[in-house]
Structure formats: C-alpha cells, structure tokens
Chains A and B, each alone.
Chain A
Amino acid sequence: MNKQRRNTLKSASGLGVLGLFVAAGLIKPEMAMAVEDKKAFDAKSMTEAYGAIGSGTPVASKEITINAPDIAENGAVVPVSVISRLGKTQQIYILIEKNPSMLAAAFTFLEGSEPEVTTRVKMGQTSNLHAMVKADGKYFFATKEVKVTMGGCGG
C-alpha cells in the first residue's frame, strides 16, 4: 500500500517536470522573433549594427531620454536608463559607440509594458551612448556622452 503511494507520488512529480518542459516550450516561439537581431551583437561599426538590426539610419528624437552619469568613475558598471515617450514603442536598443561590441542590449516591450528600462553596462572608454527606439515600425535615436575615467573592458 505504502509502496503504491510512493509510486503515485513519483509519477505525480514526474508530471510536474513534464509540465515545466511544456511551459519552457511555450516560451520558445516568442523568443524566435528576436533572433534576427543576433548578428547585430557582433557588429563592429554603428552602420553595421544598424544594418543588422535593419533600422536604416535612425532619426534623432527629443522624445527619448537617456539617464546616465556625465562622468563614470568605473567603466565596468555604468547605470543607464532609457525612457521613450514615442507612441507605440516596440523596442529599445542600447549601443555604445566605442565598445568592441557596440550593441549592449535590446529590449522588446510586449503588451502592457512601459517603454522604459534601466540596466548597467560596461564602457571601455569615453564614448557616446546611443539609445535607439523602434516605434510604430520606425527607428529613432538619442545620444549622450559618458566620460569614463577607468575602463571596464580591461585585460
């Protein structure tokens, strides 16, 4: 009797794991839609990055706010937040002009999420930070220079 109970428990927990796998599988299709951006992370120039994202040359916009320090003492941890006031903002990209890997991060906002994001990036040297926003199918950008006193990509 006891053994049977044990078996039941076992199979129940087995089902739980299966459920998790199914849940994990469900996440997949959504992730697939962003994969085309992957090449952008290897881009070595801004033009290349724009090309890989498929944005063309974005238009400067005052509706994008970048909050980042004017001077970053430690380039390994530079807090950056980007806020977009453009209607129908779909994506926010953070690019660092003089980093070996320019595209730091790309965020996709799904229904209900506000077009603002805060994260921390590395900066090898003083550089312009670019925030590119995809809104209603069009691309816009804003820049801000951050002076770095100590690089964050040191070797």
Chain B
Amino acid sequence: MADPMKIRATAKDGMTEVKILMSHEMETGQRKDAAGAVIPAWYITEVTAQHNGKTVLQAEFGTSVSKNPYLSFKFKGGAKGDKILVSWVDTKDDKRSDEATIA
C-alpha cells in the first residue's frame, strides 16, 4: 500500500476547495536506470473525489502528470465537518483511499 495522500478541504462562501497531494512515483516508462534497462511505466490512472458519498470529480491521468501528483478543484456546497473521500488506482492495480474532513 502506498503512502497516504494529503488532503485539505476548506469551505468558504458556499464553495469547497479541495487540495490533494498524492504520493506516487508516476514512472513514464521512458526512463532508463543506471544499467540502461527501461524502468517500466507505473502511474496513477484514475482518481475519484467524493463528497459525502457523492462523486464530485473524476480524473484520469497519463504519464505526463508529475511525480507525487497535485490536484486541486472546487465544488459548490459542502459544510464544515463533511467528509471528502479521495481514491486512486494505478497501473499495478494498487489502490488507495483517504478521507478528510472539510475545515
């Protein structure tokens, strides 16, 4: 299991801003190691963000997304104490879900 995500969600003027920092290598499959062997691609393909169990944003990533992907977005509604659940899936079928509370 990969390292936990850092999720920060803040509600302001009826909008909630969510900032997510995922911990992932995001290998492109283009790089070579010291011995010249290609390092196989390994990256996050799907990210889903849910607010109180309802999906608000869905993202698909390719290899061009930076290592330790950062993502921020906003949605209408959301109150202090509401739950934000973010999950991702990578090319090795590894999964991770983390939850945060709106502040």
Closest A residue to B32 by CB, please name it.
A155
Tell me the A107-142 residues at the B interface (CB within 8 Å): 107-114, 116-123
- Using Cβ atoms and an 8 Å threshold, which residues of chain A touch B55? 27, 30, 110
Query: Total A-B residue pairs with C-beta atoms closer than 8 Å?
Result: 123
Question: Of residues A31, A79, A110, A153, which shows the largest number of chain B Cβ atoms within 10 Å of its Cβ?
Answer: A110
Closest B residue to A99 by CB, please name it.
B64
In the bound complex, do residue B58 and residue A76 qualify as a contact, i.e. CB atoms below 8 Å apart?
no
* Interface size class of chain A, counting residues whose CB lies under 8 Å from the partner chain: 35 or more
Pull 27 A–B residue pairs with CB atoms less than 8 Å apart, ordered by A: A27-B50, A30-B48, A34-B58, A41-B60, A76-B66, A77-B66, A77-B67, A103-B64, A105-B59, A106-B60, A109-B56, A112-B75, A112-B77, A113-B56, A113-B74, A113-B75, A114-B75, A114-B76, A118-B71, A119-B69, A119-B71, A119-B72, A122-B26, A122-B67, A123-B64, A153-B30, A155-B30
